[in-house]
Chains A and B, each alone.
Chain A
Amino acid sequence: MSLVNYATREITCKIVYYGPGRSGKTTNLHYIYSQVPSNRKGQMVSLATQTDRTLFFDFLPIDLGVISGFSTRFQLYTVPGQVYYQTTRKLVLHGADGVVFVADSQARQLDENMESLQDLHANLADHGVDARRLPFVMQYNKQDLPADLILGVPELEEQLNFRGVPSFAADALHGRGVFESLRALSEQVLRKLSNPGGGQR
């Protein structure tokens, strides 16, 4: 849940990048880390295996500055995507204020995307979170790969975005769609703070 301190006028929100293994969640955080000036970010922490696969999570704290008079900070997490890290994903998801689902656009990864999406909904349900009320955006990563290897956005929308949440084509390695995804999710998360009973817009 977002933490709001009225006395010091500070807000802290937890954002989780979710999705199947190798879909580009860590790449999103690396790109954000590379763009944000050092006085507005902390160290990027990666609890990874020797081959750089995420073992527990990646973590990046960023300072968004003052919004509506509140110093606003975001904690960005990724989850490990591989199927066998189910328990870890559930732990990292705990208390999330919003989720960016990073889907792999490659046609052969469609089943993994769907499985990860189901896993996300199951984990949210286990935490007692109504997925329909959680700020959520969909990111279709790797749209820069050759057209014969990937699914187009319309097809991915039809297969994965049954809730009709905001979605973005992305090439996280070069930054396309990363900023837009974070901005759209930030807006939903803060909208919830400005209108707690109003649900998602």
Chain B
Amino acid sequence: MRFSVAAEWVELPLKQFVDEARVQLAVLLYPSGQVLGQFGFGRSVDVMTACALSAAITASSAELGRMVDGTPFTDLHYAGRDKQLFLGQVPIADGALVFLTVFDDESSLGLVQLFFREFCAVTASVVPSSNAETPALSDDFERELNHNLAVLFGRQ
């Protein structure tokens, strides 16, 4: 099990949450489904799938909440036989992030909710207001891209 983060500022709140709430999986993502940081997943492609589904559940449950209750549902809890899932929104200055965590009987919903509130507070205090970094690949990336795609599609 390991942590991986796509943005440095995610590391502190995520580690704190995982240590204190004793969860098995945790992932913070943008509402568009892009991962910001995770704990517990083995493969990056599995993280991406969890993020895509979490973003979809968040978006659709929010719409359902608006429809039946006039306001979006923001947090969801599902109790399975061995594992439980908690999906919540983390308010930040310019919107909200999505947080998914999975836990078993080493933890509890109360514990998760308690430390999730702390996680929200810490995250809101460290999240940068905008992504100021300017990504830059080298200009000759096409050769590697074409090569990698050809390998991927078995054309080489």
**Residues of A near any B CB (own CB < 8 A):** 1-8, 10-12, 14, 35-37, 40-43, 45, 47, 56-57, 59, 61-70, 72-73, 75, 77, 87-88, 91-92, 94-96, 179, 182-183, 186-187, 190, 193-196
What string of 1s and 0s marks CB contacts (under 8 Å) between B133-146 and chain A?
11111111110111
Partner of B148, one of A35, A67, A91: A67
Determine the chain A residues whose CB is within 8 A of the CB of B142 once the complex forms. Answer: 187
The tally of CB-CB contacts under 8 A between chains A and B is 142
CB distance from A196 to the nearest CB of B (A): 6
Contact A5 B52 (CB under 8 A): no
The number of chain B residues with a CB under 8 A from chain A is 45
Determine the chain A residues whose CB is within 8 A of the CB of B146 once the complex forms. Answer: 183
Could you list 11 examples of A-B contacts with CB < 8 Å?
A4-B135, A5-B7, A12-B48, A45-B53, A59-B52, A65-B148, A68-B138, A94-B31, A193-B136, A194-B137, A196-B135
- B60 is an interface residue with CB less than 8 A from chain A: yes
Question: With A36-B152, A64-B145 given, is the CB distance from A7 to B8 under 8 Å?
Answer: yes
Besides the contacts A92-B56, A182-B149, what 18 more A-B pairs have beta carbons closer than 8 Å?
A4-B133, A8-B5, A11-B135, A14-B34, A36-B153, A42-B45, A57-B52, A57-B56, A59-B49, A61-B44, A62-B45, A63-B44, A67-B144, A67-B148, A68-B140, A91-B60, A94-B31, A190-B145
Question: With A7-B8, A193-B137, A196-B135 given, is the CB distance from A12 to B154 under 8 Å?
Answer: no
Contact B135 A12 (CB under 8 A): no
CB distance from B73 to the nearest CB of A (A): 15
The CA-CA distance from A6 to B153 in the complex, in Å, is: 28
CB distance from B99 to the nearest CB of A (A): 16
Contact A37 B49 (CB under 8 A): no
What string of 1s and 0s marks CB contacts (under 8 Å) between B5-29 and chain A?
1111000000000000000000000
Q: Which residue of A lies closest to B51 (CB)?
A: A75
